[in-house]
Amino acid sequence: MRSYELNYLITPSLTEEEAISYHEKIKEAIKKEGGMIEKEHMPIKKKLAYDIDKKSEAYLTAVDFGITEEKIKKIKEKIGDESNILRTLLIKKEVGRKDEDEEPKRKRRSLKPEKAKLKEIDAKIDEML
C-alpha cells in the first residue's frame, strides 16, 4: 500500500455545508476502493491567484490516504468525472525518505582543470627524457 496526498479545489457555488458534504463523498469513494484515510484537511474558502473557469474563489481541501497502486487509477477516474472539482493534484508520498541533511554529502567536481605545479611538470619531463 502506498501513501498519497490528494489536494483539490471545489467550486465556490456550493455552500460551506455542501462543500464539507462533498469532501465526505470523496473520502467515501476512497474508502470504497479499499483506501485508508490517514489525515484530512476540511474545506476552506480561499481566493485564487488566478481565475479557474471564471471563478476567483474555491474551497481548498486535502486528503492523505493509503491505497494500492492498482486502485489509484480508479480514484483518479472518479475524481476526474466530478463536475464540482475545479482542479486536482495527486502526489505519491515517499515513505522512509531521509532528510537532505542526513544524506551523505557528495564531492563536487570542478569543471576547471587543476593547475599543475611546476615541480611536478619538471619531474614528468625528466622522466620522459
β-strands 36-52, 55-67: how paired? Answer: antiparallel
Grid cell digits, residue 56 = 476567483
Asked whether residue 77 carries a pLDDT value surpassing 90, the answer given is: no
Grid cell digits, residue 113 = 582543470
Range with the lowest mean pLDDT among 21-35, 74-88, 90-104? 90-104
Tell which wins on pLDDT, 100 or 68: 68
Instruction: For 1-52, write each residue's pLDDT tens digit.
Output: 889 999 999 999 999 999 999 999 999 999 999 999 999 999 999 999 999 9
- Map out the domains of the chain with their CATH numbers: 2-92 (3.30.70.60)
Instruction: For 98-110, write each residue's pLDDT tens digit.
Output: 544 455 555 555 5
Residue 112: count other Cβ atoms within 10 Å of its Cβ: 6
* Collapsed DSSP state (helix, strand, coil) of residue 101: coil
Single-letter residue type at 94: E
- The CA–CA distances, whole Å, from 104 to 99, 111, 113 equal 10, 22, 25
Tell which wins on pLDDT, 119 or 20: 20
Q: What is the pTM of this model?
A: 0.68
